[in-house]
Amino acid sequence: MTYNDDEQTAPTSTEPARPTGIMGQLVKQVRLNKYHNPVASLEPNDQEVLLELRGSSSSTDRAGLDLVAVIDVSGSMDGDRIDMAKTALQFVIRKLSDLDRLCVVTFSTSATRLCPLRFVTEAAQAELKTLVDGLKAYGTTNMKAGLGTGISVVDGRRLTSGRAVSIMLMSDGYENEGGHAIDVQLKNVPVYTFGFGASHDSNLLEAIARKSLGGTFNYVADGASLTRPFSQLLGGLLTIIAQDLELTVTRFQGEATIKRVVWVDAGTYPQTTAGDGSSVTVSFGTLYSAEVRRVIVYLALADKTSSPPYDANVGMAQYRFTFQAQQVTSNPDLITIQRRWSALDAARKPQPVENELARLQHADMIRAARAMAEANNMENARNKLEEAQKALEDNLDKANPTVAMLLEELRQLRRLMESQDLYKREGRPYVASSLASHDRQRVATRGQAEGIRLYTTPHMDTYLKQAEQFEKNPEEAPPPAPKHVPEPDQVVEEPPPPVEADVPEVPRDVAEGNRRTLSAALRVATTVLSLAAFVLMASVRTSGWDSDRYGPYEQYYRYAVGVNLIVCIYSTAQAIVEIRRLVSPRFASRNPITYCVLAYLLMSASSTAAFGKESPNTKINNAVWLSFLGFLALAASALISMDNLFRRMV
């Protein structure tokens, strides 16, 4: 059936007019942050780049919401469950404003559309409340009819420009009438599913949410509140600041190749790869205020050992979205990595990258444990979860609130995998909601584990408190959502990073390069000083080498002249080597012990003169001081060489 009777004209707003944002302001509603190693070796190596899209948490306009609530009213919902569903729907009606439209669809043996999409004015609230209060549970479960009717309502809309649309589907049982709901074509409409109680079909509801664009599966345990999970969803849907969000990642040919088919990891969001494989576009759908999408890009940097060090543009990121029917496209953002001969810290990733890789590993281990539990191998499943717990404790800070929630998630899963019966009853929907949350990077209700609030936003926290208060006193209605997203009272879960977050203050590899430059300068200084000392000592002679006499300093001066000559020649050679090391790795051999021995010889040659019985002439005295300065330069160079050596050993 086609439904094209949605209300077209929004009522006159009672809120003060807000200026329409210009394009530059709209771009700021979404921000792109990059995290990666700023330095990499010229040799072929693998790099991970974390791209983060973050929705603005400052006051901004929001999209009007078209929400279709598809509610199971089959016979199994009779009693407390239908009453809880009514209370949850009443909260939804109270929170929507006259900017938003609502349609309620129920299903049992067949599906019924209770009302068309209509703006939720004060008058409409009263009528919708009456419709919801009249719900009764009866019949079988024809989920396909319910979901299909909801999609038909969305497809038939006449007013679509600038509006966000979502379907929330709630059921407490298995479909036993009318075919398979998974066959319904969702057409990029986000569907958020809620499995209510211990007898729902979590596999089906998870599959429907996964098939949609951005939807999540939520597990609501027996006896748990249904209003609170609904409030979490509204806390996002009523703060949508970007629609049709896409991120395109392009690798530069000749700079970066790929070693894995999936080189952009974005969970279960759909990806489109260019024909030549050089770029990938990820489609995220909607983005809430203060919400975050993280993408890991795996790059294999090409072999550049035949080139001098340079700054390589290895990739580019660009995002686009729509808001209030306006197309917004960001400027291309280059991913630049300094290619150097040596990159000591290449194996040490920036902390945000480490955290995201650890979270992905965490989700993969839950996925593996789930497969073992489905095969009735509960002991191995628990062992896998214990392995995941140890990996988190070893690699991340347990005091971090997010890490603490991940650990609690694993503890809950281990408890629910103690037996096959417990797993089928509670563990299966729990693990399904956990993976849905990780794959979508969105909040999802996990049974009664209210302490695990991954991916929540400050507005969701506000709505949750309002839901709790509404359950205690339904007559005290929560305020409807404003037509703009206000600045939240709470602090965002992860504060925005500094502007230059992707570049550490002083990378160790860059610091080593600076030390090499200083070492080369010191060796040049040693060469100059030892040469000057040698020339001054040699110029004291008034006749041939053998006929000169130096009085009580005869042996010392011959020794000093020889040492300065040796140091001059050796330092010249080493200065040339160190300078060439800055542009070529083929001159990498060095022996810091030799520098120390030469420094000792030069020091001994210089210090011996201080204990002579007679004062040397001015030239010789100056030569001694030049020799001593040369010793200092050579000693400093030796210390730098030893430091570099020890760093490599560590």
Q: Judge if 309 and 353 occupy the same domain.
A: no
| 11: in domain | no
Please list the alpha-helical segments (H only) found in 375-454.
378-395, 401-416, 420-422, 428-440
| 498: in domain | no
Q: How many helices (H) and strands (E) does the chain have?
A: 16, 21
Q: Judge if 90 and 226 occupy the same domain.
A: yes
pLDDT tens per residue across span 136-171: 999 999 999 999 999 999 999 999 998 999 999 999
Q: What are 539-543's contacts with CB under 8 Å, separation 24+? A: 539/619, 540/617, 540/619, 540/620
Q: Judge if 407 and 354 occupy the same domain.
A: yes
Candidates 604, 623, 618; CA nearest to 559 is 604
| 16: in domain | no
| 2: in domain | no
For residues 552-560, average pLDDT: 62
Choose the final residue of a domain: 280, 313, 346: 346
| 320: in domain | yes
pLDDT confidence band for 579 (50 / 70 / 90): confident
| 362: in domain | yes
Q: Judge if 575 and 642 occupy the same domain.
A: yes
Per the structure, how many domains does the chain have?
4
Q: Judge if 402 and 479 occupy the same domain.
A: no
Q: Judge if 118 and 201 occupy the same domain.
A: yes
pLDDT confidence band for 240 (50 / 70 / 90): very high
Q: Judge if 324 and 427 occupy the same domain.
A: no
- Domain with 125, as residue range(s), is 64-238+457-489
Which CATH number goes with the domain that contains 574? 1.20.140
Range list of β-strands (E), 62-153: 64-72, 101-107, 111-113, 118-119
300 backbone dihedrals φ, ψ, rounded to 5°: -110, 105
| 334: in domain | yes
Q: Judge if 206 and 252 occupy the same domain.
A: no
Q: What percent of the chain has pLDDT over 90?
A: 62
pLDDT at 563 over 50: yes
Paired residues of 53 in beta bridges:
32, 293
The per-residue b/e assignment along 510-525, b for 16 or more CB within 10 angstroms, e otherwise, is bebbebbeebbbbbbb
pTM of the model: 0.78
Per-residue pLDDT at 507: 47
pLDDT tens per residue across span 447-506: 987 788 999 999 999 999 999 999 999 888 899 999 888 887 644 444 444 333 344 444
Which CATH number goes with the domain that contains 272? 2.60.40.3670
Q: Judge if 536 and 576 occupy the same domain.
A: yes
| 1: in domain | no
Q: Judge if 568 and 469 occupy the same domain.
A: no
User: CA 608, CA 508: separation in Å to the nearest integer?
Assistant: 40
Higher-confidence residue of 577 and 71: namely 71
